[in-house]
Amino acid sequence: MLLITCPWCGPRAEIEFRCGGEAHIARPDPATASDADWERYLFLRENAKGVTLERWWHVHGCRRWFNAARDTTTEEFLAFYRMGEPPPATLRARLGR
Amino acid sequence: MVNDAYRRGRSAAPSHGTMQRYSIFSLARNALTGHRNWQAAWRSPEPRPAYEVVIVGGGGHGLATAYYLAKEHGITNVAVLEKGWLGGGNTGRNTTVVRSNYLYDESAAIYEHSMKLWEGLAQELNYNVMFSQRGVLMLAHGSHDEQVLKRHIHADRLNGIDNEWLTPAQAKAFCPPLNIGKELRYPVTGAALQRRGGTARHDAVAWGYARGADARGVDIIQNCAVTGVRRDGDRVVGVETTRGYIAAGKVGVVAAGHTSVVMAMAGLRMPIESVPLQALVSEPVKPVFPCVAMSNAIHAYISQSDKGELVIGAGTDQYVSYGQRGSFHIAEHTLEAIVELFPIFSRLRMLRQWAGIVDCTPDRSPILARTPVRGLYVNCGWGTGGFKATPGSGHVFAHTIARDEPHPINAPFTLERFRTGRLIDEAAAAAVAH
């Protein structure tokens, strides 16, 4: 079981949370989006082996959403940051973005 | 870890076309010489610089693909590249359940195709895959479950697949350890039974296909990880591996949980998320459990291996992961359901626990298709239920690679369906909700 640090509540057990999948996927503009845009938005995923950015929901706690960076091979969390914020600068080099 | 298959693959190599047939007579003959003269089941050749077809992934589906390429299509200039040992991924980590009672026509067709191949597989391969049609029982715990399972039964019967409704008393008669008492939190109110469903020995399926493919000239290369996919424009021309570059006319990717990783090497992003799916076995006990039993509603499935261990399937972790472990609370959740349904198991000790990394598509149906890169084919997305499909998947994927067009059975399972919206939203893809 993962130990997850909610930015508002602090470290809590994984069973208090729901994983919301890959983070920073922008919804396309419905007025102009093509089928390929919708495919990218709805279905295509990075599915990274290594560092991934994902959303978590503290459903059995404060019920707020936040972002996390996690290594999918070790399950180690590298950062927690709030919704709307970009990933921490220290991570961007490691992510190659 | 030294695996039995790995050791066999490394030992002395028989030459092509001289596969030793297994029979009661060969068993008796070898018994007289202390079992010292058995041939290795397949060679372990050095990779050649080029092949007509390279299959990435030496699990059941990849090995079956190579076998049917050689047998059905006469394409024997084939290599299967496996980064670890044969069947060491999901083929050796699943709960060995075989069934074909799926809801939609597309799924019913591919899983029933597989079931028919299972029914003759041991004879076909001259390898005992220990296929046992002991029956798969799916439990209902209330009116909603009953409606869903009865809908499945009717849909299956229209597709010529056996599936029947049992009352709780009939379910108890079929599976005596089952608790049908009214005191349960979710009492059993009926069950759907596919009598032709059952289990098979998972390792034997990989080994049998490997031996059959090898005898027809396929090179099986273990400890050979693919590190890159080389393209010339829109066409694939070969793969970079930890044992050097291998040129290929066609490449079939059958990499299960690592599909996204391999396809990214070819510049393609996939509609897949990889999550750990967990299973566990108890200490071995005498034969006590006669069938496979599953409950979607309270999340439990269980059978007994021929070795005597209870084989129990737990759920998936909720996040993407490549760690083959699985979380404790996932197994605990399943065991709570198991001991309520089968109280006689409450004092059994669990022996081993593990996870496999399963490749889940958004519609929980597989992808067996060509890709936008010419000569590159993908067989993935089997999610939590790929073992049962092994023979059929390999059979139609070999057709797709050999003819450069899908077999009618896998034609609906395209990669483009996530763009066109023609999804196959298979409600019965998992016998339990993941």
Q: Is the pLDDT of residue B4 over 60?
A: no
Give me the domain span that covers residue B310. Answer: 136-200+274-360
pLDDT of residue A97: 60
CA distance B414 to B426: 15
What is the reported pTM? 0.94
Instruction: Taking residues B282-304, report their average pLDDT.
Output: 95
pLDDT of residue A95: 76
Nearest in space to A71 (alpha carbons), one of B268, B321, B185 = B321
Transcribe B326-350 into DSSP letters: --HHHHHHHHHHHHHH-GGGTTPPE
Domain shared by B348 and B399, yes or no: no
Pairing relationship of beta strands B50-56 and B198-199 according to DSSP bridges: unpaired
Chain A with chain B: Cβ pairs closer than 8 A: 70
Instruction: Taking residues B297-325, report their average pLDDT.
Output: 94
Q: Is the pLDDT of residue B187 over 70?
A: yes
Q: Is the pLDDT of residue B15 over 90?
A: no
Chain A CB contacts of B420 under 8 Å are 35
- Picking from B360, B378, B408, the residue at the C-terminal end of a domain is B360
Instruction: Taking residues B22-28, report their average pLDDT.
Output: 95
CA distance B140 to B351: 29
Question: Is residue B24 one of the residues assigned to a domain?
Answer: no
Please check whether residue A47 touches B, CB under 8 A. yes
The H or E element containing residue B6 is helix B4-10
Residue recorded with tokens 């090179």: B219
Chain A CB contacts of B322 under 8 Å are 49, 72-73
Question: Is residue B155 one of the residues assigned to a domain?
Answer: yes
Of A38, A47, A54, the CB nearest to B272: A47
CB contact under 8 A, B260 and A47: yes
Question: Is residue B95 one of the residues assigned to a domain?
Answer: yes
Arithmetic mean of pLDDT over chain B: 94
Residue recorded with tokens 């890709």: B371
CB contact under 8 A, A49 and B258: yes
Q: ∠ CA B328-B331-B337 to the nearest 5 degrees?
A: 140
Instruction: Taking residues B301-319, report their average pLDDT.
Output: 96
pLDDT of residue A92: 77
Domain shared by B166 and B177, yes or no: yes
Question: Is residue B38 one of the residues assigned to a domain?
Answer: no
Domain shared by B108 and B208, yes or no: yes
Structurally, chain B folds into a number of domains equal to 2
Domains of chain A plus CATH, in order, are 3-27+35-95 (3.30.2270.10)
Domain shared by B305 and B175, yes or no: yes
Domain shared by B333 and B376, yes or no: no
Give the best residue of B226, B262, B268, B319 to mutate against chain A (max A CB count within 10 A): B319
Q: Is the pLDDT of residue B9 over 70?
A: no
Instruction: Taking residues B346-353, report their average pLDDT.
Output: 95
SS (H, E, C) B171-237: HHHHCCCCCCCCCCCCCCCEEEEECCCEECCHHHHHHHHHHHHHHCCCEEECCCCEEEEEEECCEEE
The 10s digit of each residue's pLDDT in B370-386 is 999 999 999 999 999 99
Retrieve residue A47's tokens.
Answer: 């599915």
Chain B CB contacts of A52 under 8 Å are 320
Domain shared by B145 and B114, yes or no: no
